[in-house]
Amino acid sequence: MVTTVGTETTYQDLVENLLLLEHDAIAAYDQTIERLTNAAYKQKVVSFKADHDRHVQELTQLATAAGATAHREGDVKQLLTTGKVALASIMGDGAILTAMRTNEEDTVTAYERASRHAEAPQDARRIFERAHADELRHREWMSNPA
């Protein structure tokens, strides 16, 4: 799935859409944790989900401060992120991680764009940059789990 998150014209819309994206990602992580059979993979994915939980906390604070809607759940795109994982589970852990890596592509792209968003204040950009680094780390591991 190709995301448009990060291309919003307003900072408030950016934060709202990042929150939706994060909630969609968390739902996919929950599906992944439930379906993985390899205990080491599962443990790593649990640690990555904790990063996403932190992103939601930080984005919720930004949304509140900016007068934006602090979404508490994802949107219809969640069906795509979780559906890929559910389908991939038929083929095992490697396919599940491949599906998750494709989900991570969206979060990497979104935070890369967000960290350069013209209307984002400097404190928000620092949060976006940290989240971007997290997403790069997640994507890398899912490409080569060890």
pLDDT of residue 83: 58
The pLDDT of 61-67, averaged and rounded, is: 96
The tens digit of pLDDT for each residue in 94-137 reads 888 998 998 899 999 999 999 999 999 999 999 999 999 999 99
Per-residue confidence band for 77, with pLDDT thresholds at 50, 70 and 90? low
pLDDT of residue 110: 96
List, in order, residues 6 or more apart from 94 with CB less than 8 Å away. none
Most confident of 27-31, 65-69, 133-137: 133-137
Residue 138 has pLDDT above 60, yes or no: yes
Whether the Cβ atoms of residue 33 and residue 74 lie closer than 8 Å to each other: no
Whether the Cβ atoms of residue 120 and residue 67 lie closer than 8 Å to each other: no
Residue 1 has pLDDT above 60, yes or no: no
pLDDT of residue 72: 74
Mean pLDDT of the chain: 89
Q: Which of 8, 9, 17 is nearest to 69 (CA)?
A: 17
The pLDDT of 58-85, averaged and rounded, is: 76
- DSSP letters along 53-73, please? HHHHHHHHHHHHHHT----SS
Whether the Cβ atoms of residue 65 and residue 12 lie closer than 8 Å to each other: no
- Delineate the domains of the chain, giving CATH numbers in brackets: 11-143 (1.20.1260.10)
Whether the Cβ atoms of residue 93 and residue 43 lie closer than 8 Å to each other: no
pLDDT of residue 62: 97
pLDDT of residue 80: 60
pLDDT of residue 4: 85
